[in-house]
């Protein structure tokens, strides 16, 4: 709802957008509330009408990021159905696509040092996005004999870690991050090797 005296239709979102831009430029801990206020075109005092401090602002950035991320993961999972393998692989690719398209959100979510339990809302948002990958892993795990079936949460954690590693090392354009292989190919090959080791690629062939 617009605040009297503000020329912004939505000052709260204007501050979030400013923070996301600054996070992309300077990292989650590299900017001040004053810089966010200046970029949004308001006084620093106006920020405190909406956020208690910088961490509160970053939490809102992370919350919005998890909402987008959760939607993207859900779409990827559903687009791969009815094949459990394709659905699982699609969620891995969705992770990389999100990091590329929404770097400010990604950094607020995963590089700000925030606890996922910083607020109840954030905890629920994190659980939702992680839950999609765990659900995909559960569907895929049904193809593994019970005696050698790892916990679905472990499978999803492995793929999450692999996806995050590819993003951090090769997909962010950081110095020294050059590779002769596109990040998408690295992730797809890595997931393929992992799933082959579990005997899942043959099971879905």
Minimum mean pLDDT among 2-6, 52-56, 80-84, 162-166: which range? 2-6
Question: If we measure between CA atoms, which residue out of 90, 11, 1 comes closest to residue 43?
Answer: 11
Q: Model confidence over 65-94: pLDDT tens digits?
A: 999 999 999 998 888 888 888 888 888 888
Q: Which two tokens stand for residue 205?
A: 């062939």
Q: Which two tokens stand for residue 21?
A: 């831009």
Q: How far apart are CA 55 and CA 58, in angstroms?
A: 5
* Number of residues assigned to the chain: 205
Q: Model confidence over 151-173: pLDDT tens digits?
A: 888 888 888 888 888 888 887 66
Higher pLDDT, 3 or 51: 51
Highest averaged pLDDT of the listed ranges 27-36, 111-120, 179-188 = 27-36
Whole-number pLDDT of residue 111: 87
Domains of the chain and CATH, by start: 1-51 (1.10.10), 55-204 (1.10.357.10)
Minimum mean pLDDT among 4-18, 33-47, 71-85, 123-137: which range? 4-18
Confidence of residue 205 (pLDDT cuts 50, 70, 90): very low
Asked whether the bond before 82 is cis by omega within 30 degrees of 0, the reply is yes
Q: Model confidence over 99-151: pLDDT tens digits?
A: 989 999 999 999 888 888 888 999 999 998 888 888 888 888 888 888 888 88
Whole-number pLDDT of residue 158: 87
Diameter over CA atoms, the chain: 66
Whole-number pLDDT of residue 204: 45
Q: Is the pLDDT of residue 8 over 60?
A: no
Q: Where are the alpha helices (DSSP H) in the chain?
A: 11-26, 33-40, 44-47, 54-79, 84-101, 103-110, 120-141, 152-170, 183-197, 200-204
């Amino acid at each position: 709802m617009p605040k009297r005296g503000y020329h912004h239709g939505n000052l709260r979102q204007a501050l979030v957008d400013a923070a996301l831009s600054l996070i992309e430029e300077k990292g989650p801990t590299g900017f001040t509330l004053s810089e966010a206020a200046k970029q949004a075109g308001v006084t620093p005092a106006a920020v405190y009408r909406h956020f208690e401090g910088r961490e509160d602002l970053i939490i809102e950035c992370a919350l919005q990021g998890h909402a987008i991320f959760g939607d993207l993961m859900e779409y990827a999972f559903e687009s791969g159905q009815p094949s459990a393998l394709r659905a699982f692989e699609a969620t891995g690719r969705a992770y990389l696509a999100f990091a590329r398209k929404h770097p400010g959100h990604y950094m607020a979510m995963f590089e700000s040092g925030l606890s996922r339990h910083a607020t109840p809302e954030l905890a629920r948002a994190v659980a939702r996005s992680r839950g999609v990958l765990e659900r995909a892993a559960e569907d895929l795990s049904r193809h593994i004999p019970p005696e050698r079936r790892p916990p679905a949460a472990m499978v999803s954690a492995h793929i999450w870690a692999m996806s995050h590693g590819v993003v951090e090392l090769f997909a962010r354009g950081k110095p020294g991050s050059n590779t002769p292989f596109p990040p998408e190919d690295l992730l797809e090959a890595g997931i393929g090797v992992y799933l082959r080791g579990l005997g899942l690629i043959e099971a879905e062939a």
